[in-house]
Amino acid sequence: MRREGSRGRRRCRGAARPLAGPGGAALGLAGGPRRDVARFGPVPPPGAQGASDGAAGSPAGGRGSATGPLGRRLADLLTERIAGVRLDEPVTLVASQFPGAHPLEIFEEEGGPVVGRLAPPDVLAGGLPRFRPEAADDGEVAVAGDRPRVLIYHTHTSEAYVGAVPAGTGFDPAVEAFTSDPGASVVGVGTVVQQVLEERGIGTVHLRQVFDRDGERVTRIGNYQRSLAALVGDGDRPGLLDAYPTVDVVLDIHRDGVGRDATLTRVGGQPAASILFVVGTDRRLEHPQWHKNYCFVQWLVAELERRHPGLVKGVLVSENRYNQHVRPGAVLVEIGGYGNTPAEAERSARMFGEALAAVIEAGRVPQADRPFQCPPGVKPPG
């Protein structure tokens, strides 16, 4: 997922909620617990809302008028340049009050069908496993173990890890940090998680189908619709959840669209990629059990904090759904960002996989037909 750059910028629509820490307390934008960070006020949507996960409307206003897109944009650019604040994104108004903070934006895809291109091979360090030799593999689907519990996929399949890019190279990671090489992408991270779960005796399905490319171009149009069709089927074609009905945990693994400073952490003295969870709600599309998804994420956060304090960056509650309605145990997790190295992403993927295995083994996976509670002291947002 992406946060900065004019292409694909996510705008804050409706009332955004703050990050929630392991105990359910709000996190300040600088990362520490802050009880004075409240919800941000509602923002009128600039255009009609789409009816699909992650869809966005079109800006309103006349071409070239003082109040149209061009006039507003010139004024906004001046304000953003001087004060570091985007008037159309209230989150930046709060972020500007915390030195070193990074603006948090609702995860919303917009800005046109093409948002990037594949990185040149010499920029990619690689190093992540490209496949699981022990898994039954048909090219796009790797299955490990009988009666799999976990399905891993990647709506933004091409998201890459490039590490620190030296200045003067002309490489723009916000536009070019994408790859078809799973050894440098979120697909390799998914393979690591699958390996950890397999070692713990938990069966997995890893879907490596590409959802975000049109040839060499990276697109953000229709990604979630395509990945949803792969999960639940499309017309007469069944989905993977039909083929593997024992799956009750569904992981959509991404990397964040921010630089190295925002996602680099240290665990046990070693550099690692921070982890951010995104929980969808029912504010736009039907998702009646989203509180179960939220509580499941909080159990994961609690386990990760117990094992590796500081690894989790936070939990972002979004008005979008992100296909999490397919299972109460569906999770969108961002492991690091494009500024992390593949080695850092792999280290965090292993820690995440171990924590997930512990939560599964403890029986803390929500089911559609029975109640499910958050950890003690944690309540889903209202």
List the domains of the chain with CATH numbers: 61-105 (no CATH), 114-361 (3.40.630.40)
239 pLDDT band (50/70/90 cuts)?
A: very high
Q: How far apart are CA 13 and CA 25, in angstroms?
A: 23
| CB-based burial label for 371 (10 Å; 0-12, 13-18, 19+) | exposed
Kind and range of the H or E run holding 307: helix 290-307
Query: In this structure, are residues 97 and 30 in contact, taking their beta carbons and an 8 Å threshold?
Result: no
**Greater model confidence, 144 or 62:** 144
* pLDDT number for residue 174: 82
Average pLDDT over residues 136-151: 84
Phi, psi of 195 (to 5 degrees): -65, -45
Q: Is the pLDDT of residue 245 over 70?
A: yes
Mean pLDDT of 309-328: 97
Answer whether 276's CB lies under 8 Å from 345's CB.
Answer: no
Mean pLDDT of 181-210: 96
Say if residue 146 is exposed, middle or buried (CB neighbours under 10 Å; 0-12, 13-18, 19+). Answer: exposed
Q: What is the mean pLDDT of residues 337-354?
A: 97
pLDDT mean over 107-130: 55
Could you give the CA distance from residue 66 to residue 63 in angstroms, rounded to a whole number?
9
Asked if pLDDT for residue 309 goes beyond 90, the answer is yes
28 pLDDT band, cuts 50/70/90, is very low
Q: Give the pLDDT mean for 350-376.
A: 98
Q: Which one is predicted more confidently, 53 or 330?
A: 330
Residue 229 in this model has a pLDDT that exceeds 80: yes
How high is the pLDDT of residue 69? 47
Distances in Å between the Cα of 88 and the Cα atoms of 33, 41, 80, 83, 320 are 26, 12, 10, 14, 19
- Greatest alpha-carbon span in the chain: 63
Q: What is the mean pLDDT of the chain?
A: 76
Cβ-based neighbours of 170, under 8 Å, separated by 6 or more: none
Q: Confidence band (pLDDT; 50, 70, 90) for 168?
A: confident
Residue 107 has pLDDT above 50, yes or no: no
| Residue 74 CB coordination number (10 Å) | 11
| pLDDT for 205 beyond 90 | yes
Query: What's the pLDDT score for residue 41?
Result: 27
Categorize the per-residue pLDDT at 123 as very low, low, confident or very high, splitting at 50, 70 and 90.
Answer: low
Q: pLDDT (tens digit, 9 = 90+) per residue, 76-85? A: 545 444 444 4
Q: Provide the pLDDT for residue 165.
A: 78
Q: What is the mean pLDDT of residues 166-187?
A: 86
Give DSSP secondary structure letters for 121-156.
GGG----S-S--TTSEE-SSEEEESSS--EEEE-TT
In this prediction, residue 115 carries a pLDDT of 64
